[in-house]
Amino acid sequence: MKTAIVNLGRIVTGDWRAPFASGDSIVMADGKIVSVGSASADAVAACDVVIDADGATAMPGMIDSQVHNTFGDYTPRQKTVGFLESYVHGGTTTAISASEVHVPGRPKDPEGVKALAVAAMKCFLDYRPGGMKVHAGSIILEPGLKESDFAEIAAKGVWLAKAGFGAVKSPFEYAEMVGWARKHGMITTVHTGGASIPGSSGIWADHLIAMQPHVSFHVNGGPVAMPDEDFPRILHESQIALQVCTAGNLRTLLMLADMVRAADQFDRFLIATDTPTGSGIMPLGMMYTITHLASLTKMPVEWAIAAATGNNAKVYGLNSGLLEAGRDADVLVVDACIGGSKREALDALRNGDIAAVAAVVTDGVPRFVGKSRNTPAPIRKVRVAHCSVMQDYSGAAH
């Protein structure tokens, strides 16, 4: 399928070092971005679908790097069906598993946690809820796992490992397992802060530095944050990526945002939601955290967008999260909300308002065009200007 977005007012790339692209169009084919900036009349005419952005803003689809998926588009924690599809209407086009810890009656023995990770990973290989790409199957580190177990599941395609929910006596016991996972090419993530479920342990700077995972999950608290004095240690004594989440401590989020910028370590700053959890389902969670950072700190809004897109893509080795040729064709068209005080999407986010999600394209396929069911309508009339396929892209109404 070939898709074009034309008449864009601004293009946000997802790269905080070069946050804007010149031009007014994006052309996509066969699930990849072909060009960003300008497009010939012939290239646009050759597209199956042409979206007229009417001067609205394009940005990469957001990557929620901490989602507690189970199987299918269902969360038993909140007893809700269709939450992932709903997140697409909030602008999230990719989700990364924080482990399938909320599967009812989940196994906790080595063979069970391996089987759970492999099954979840395989279930989402071709399943796209609402068009979302879900990287599922994160093995939960439990006592009894050996290095050979990590070699086995890595060979089966599992590339995520999560510490923090296992039945270890001390978080320091995770260090050896994290090392084995890293040795076999897996991205390692660790619960950070106070315990979030009964039976788990709090994890702080000493534990993280001993483990050396790739990512410190919900470093601002999920939902309870570490002591303030631990943050400079993680920032300066490691290269661990620092993921902040919507379902965490807002004060700590803002403090850490200032710290990473002052230390020139912004590549390590990631945004996620850490949902569904006790904090609930948050289809606009990624957007809200962007508004918090852009309106309550001195962080440029385009940097906050990068933390939700390109930074996540870099740490996790994904081909999405950036608007440039060759990347996965996951694109949002956003605008200021009708009835608000601002006229442009980025100005609205700086003001602390969410942006209207006016269109979502994933894998080069428009999922809806015009308005989201989870945001107010955009000021501009984003519409399908040409369509040669039998498809209604208007999306569900509120």
In tens, the pLDDT along 266-318 reads 999 999 999 998 889 999 999 999 999 999 999 999 999 999 999 999 999 99
The answer, yes or no, to whether residue 180 has pLDDT greater than 60, is yes
The encoded tokens of residue 157 equal 């395609």
Cα distance between residue 266 and residue 203, in whole Å: 23
The set of residues, in sequence order, having a beta carbon less than 8 Å from that of 363 and lying 6+ positions away, is: 31, 128, 131, 133, 328, 329, 330
The answer, yes or no, to whether residue 398 has pLDDT greater than 60, is no
Report residue 396's pLDDT band, with 50, 70 and 90 as the boundaries.
Answer: low
State the alpha helices, DSSP H only, in 77-173: 83-88, 110-123, 147-155
| One domain, residues 119 and 244 | yes
Q: How many CB atoms lie within 10 A of CB 261?
A: 16
DSSP for 56-81 reads -EEEEPEEEEEE---SSSEETTTTEE
| One domain, residues 263 and 365 | no
Q: 343: domain CATH number? A: 2.30.40.10
Q: 145: domain CATH number? A: 3.20.20.140
Cα distance between residue 176 and residue 211, in whole Å: 8
The encoded tokens of residue 5 equal 């977005």
| One domain, residues 93 and 153 | yes
What average pLDDT does range 330-351 have in this prediction? 98
The answer, yes or no, to whether residue 397 has pLDDT greater than 70, is no
| One domain, residues 333 and 258 | no
Cα distance between residue 350 and residue 370, in whole Å: 23
> How many structural domains does the chain have?
2
| One domain, residues 114 and 193 | yes
Residue 303 covered by a domain: no
| One domain, residues 192 and 238 | yes
| One domain, residues 98 and 225 | yes
Report residue 111's pLDDT band, with 50, 70 and 90 as the boundaries.
Answer: very high
138-140 and 160-163 strand pairing: parallel
What letter would DSSP give residue 172?
G
The answer, yes or no, to whether residue 161 has pLDDT greater than 90, is yes
> Mean pLDDT of all residues in the chain?
96
Express each pLDDT in 163-175 by its tens digit: 998 899 999 999 9
Report residue 391's pLDDT band, with 50, 70 and 90 as the boundaries.
Answer: confident
Answering whether pTM is above 0.75, one says: yes
Please tell me the number of Cα atoms within 13 Å of 238 on its side-chain side: 22
Report residue 238's pLDDT band, with 50, 70 and 90 as the boundaries.
Answer: very high
The set of residues, in sequence order, having a beta carbon less than 8 Å from that of 288 and lying 6+ positions away, is: 246, 282, 354
Angle between helices 301-308 and 285-296 (to 10 degrees): 150
Express each pLDDT in 40-90 by its tens digit: 999 999 999 999 999 999 999 999 999 999 999 999 999 999 999 999 999
What average pLDDT does range 188-203 have in this prediction? 80
| One domain, residues 241 and 336 | no
Q: CA quadruple 168, 169, 172, 173: dihedral positive or negative?
A: negative
Cα distance between residue 370 and residue 238, in whole Å: 44
Q: Residue 128, SS3? A: coil
Q: Residue 41, SS3? A: helix
Angle at 262 between CA 258 and CA 263, to 5 degrees: 120
Cα distance between residue 181 and residue 179, in whole Å: 5
The encoded tokens of residue 16 equal 């905080």
The encoded tokens of residue 279 equal 């904090």
What is residue 194's predicted lDDT score, i.e. its pLDDT? 85
Report residue 394's pLDDT band, with 50, 70 and 90 as the boundaries.
Answer: confident
| One domain, residues 159 and 233 | yes
What average pLDDT does range 226-244 have in this prediction? 97
What letter would DSSP give residue 26?
E
| One domain, residues 219 and 155 | yes
Cα distance between residue 329 and residue 320, in whole Å: 7
**Amino acid letter for position 81:** V
What is residue 197's predicted lDDT score, i.e. its pLDDT? 60
Parent domain of 192: 62-283
The answer, yes or no, to whether residue 31 has pLDDT greater than 80, is yes
What is residue 294's predicted lDDT score, i.e. its pLDDT? 98
